[in-house]
Amino acid sequence: MTGTTTRGTVHLAVYDTFADWETGHATAWLSRGGYGTRTVGPTTAPVTTMGGMRVVPDLALADLNPADSALLILTGADLWETGDDLAPFATAARRFLGAGVPVAAICGATAGLAREGLLDDRAHTSAVPGYLAATGYRGGAHYVEADAVTDGGLITAGPTEPVAFAREVLAQLGVYEGEKLDAWYRLFHHSDAAAYAVLDS
């Protein structure tokens, strides 16, 4: 099934200072699992990632419809900390969740969701509790000290956990489950070579 889009489209938000490393595991293995990925920018103008790569978005945020998507992925970026430029992406996440379409947010994107009120009533995680507390959100009681958390269709993770983030994404969309999901995580997080046999079975 590698390289064949059969199961739907995942939308990956891209914007200036996008943290390149946070979604590579997720998007690569979603592709191998039959999902296509389309990038969504503030507009269709090129953006530059934190690593200096130039990305031309496939579509503008204004044209993004939850009905056309299996998942919205939001990554960290310096822009989450320097103003409200990315707030429309948090608003889009609210629309997705309201439509029953899952959202996955890592690193600074969790702060954007906190400001939007989307973490007030859901179990979640991030870099550290104080990072989200600084947003003034009301969900501190639901903060979980974990590498990644899924609750009510919303996945959250801190900036050092791209593999755990991908694990939750792959589970959410049914790419892997059970022993194979565990083996995938052991292989890429713990370098456990024994996991190959499970993945190939």
Domain layout of the chain by residue ranges:
9-175
pTM of the model: 0.95
* Separation between Cα atoms, residue 141 and residue 43, nearest integer Å: 36
pLDDT, residue 201, reads 85
Residue 124 known to be catalytic: no
Tell me the per-residue pLDDT of 83-128, one tens digit each, with 9 for 90 and over.
Answer: 899 999 999 999 999 999 999 999 999 999 999 999 999 999 999 9
CATH topology of domain 9-175: Rossmann fold (3.40.50)
Choice among 26, 97, 106, 107 that is catalytic: 107
User: 150's torsion region: left (phi>0), alpha (psi -120 to 50) or beta?
Assistant: beta
